[in-house]
Amino acid sequence: QGQLVESGGGLVKPGGSLRLSCAASGFSFSDYYMSWIRQAPGKGLEWVSKITTSGTNKYYADSVEGRFTISRDNANNALYLQMNSLRAEDTAVYFCARDRYSGGYWDYFDYWGQGTLVTVSS
Amino acid sequence: HSALTQPPSASGSPGQSVTISCTGTSSDVGGYNFVSWYQQHPGKAPKLMIYEVTKRPSGVPDRFSGSKSGNTASLTVSGLQAEDEADYYCISYAGNHTPVFGGGTKLTVL
């Protein structure tokens, strides 16, 4: 059974930076696209970013484009999210999740981590 | 793509059935059979309950079922139990690498 464990969250001032990590185990990490999804306090889920298996292609929500960078280290089964120029509205629990595709179409997220809280405040 | 539309809340008594809707467009929900549903208890990670509109992952009780008609997908919980009280989210393929999310529905078991 696959497992995802996020880390790296914390309190950061507006304009600051933070790097989140997601450690994967129990499955062949390099075979799967991976995503970051966030949830602001008391709000719904919001997709943030996705990365392909090799790391060649990366996709971002408009709200984080140009500020966040997704990356992965397949040798160490790790996913990362570098967050720069943080704003108050980036305050959220950040989840990493495994993407499943079917016939080339995005299908669903089957594994989710427990999340890590990022608070942007002065 | 705009977010999918879900009712903010739904409720039912133990043993009853409740259905939660998820309305999109012909570019997402109506155009593909890639709608999934997730259950989230407070402070926990979302859990996959239904994928590809109607399929249940191993371990999900058959009290949970999914369907779709036109641009609206639905999640039905039959024989409501106290532990079903949670937030439920729908997500759909939207024609690119960025799936579109519903706003979530808070299910209350009365």
Residue-averaged pLDDT of chain B: 95
β-bridge mates for residue A22, sequence order: A6, A79
CA gap B62, B85 in Å, rounded: 16
Cβ–Cβ below 8 Å for A100 and B51: yes
Between the CA of residue B92 and those of A17, A97, B35, B43, B87, what are the distances in Å?
A: 31, 15, 4, 24, 17
β-strand pairing of A116-120 with B18-23: unpaired
- Answer whether B71's CB lies under 8 Å from B13's CB: no
Question: In terms of pLDDT, which residue wins out, A105 or B66?
Answer: B66
pLDDT digits (tens, 9 = 90+) for B38-50: 999 999 999 999 9
Q: Which letter, b or e, does each residue of B28-61 get, where b requires 16 or more Cβ atoms within 10 Å of its Cβ?
A: bbbebbbbbbbbbeeeebbbbbbbbbeebeeebe
User: What gap in Å lies between CA B106 and CA B8, rounded to an integer?
Assistant: 6
**pLDDT above 70: residue A116:** yes
Percent of chain B with pLDDT over 90: 93
Averaged pLDDT for residues B55-77: 97
User: How far apart (Å, rounded) are the C-alpha atoms in residues A83 and B9?
Assistant: 33
Residue B101 to residue A47, Cβ atoms within 8 A: yes
Q: Does B83 touch chain A (CB under 8 A)?
A: no
- ∠ CA(A119), CA(A120), CA(B2), 5° rounding? 85
CA nearest neighbour of A63 among A97, A86, A80, A81: A86
- Rounded CA Rg of chain A: 14
Residue in B with minimal Cα distance to A51: B97
Contacts of B96 (CB under 8 A, 6+ apart): none
pLDDT tens digits along A49-68:
999 999 999 999 999 999 99
Mean pLDDT of chain A: 96
Best mutation target among B97, B100, B105, B106 (most A Cβ atoms within 10 Å) is: B97
What is the three-class DSSP state of A82? strand
Task: Give the chain B residue whose CA is nearest to the CA of A33.
Answer: B97
Answer whether residue A5 shows pLDDT above 80: yes
Q: Which of A5, A43, A95, A107 should one mutate to test binding to chain B, selecting the residue with the greatest count of B CBs within 10 A? A: A107
How much is the pLDDT for B2?
Answer: 66
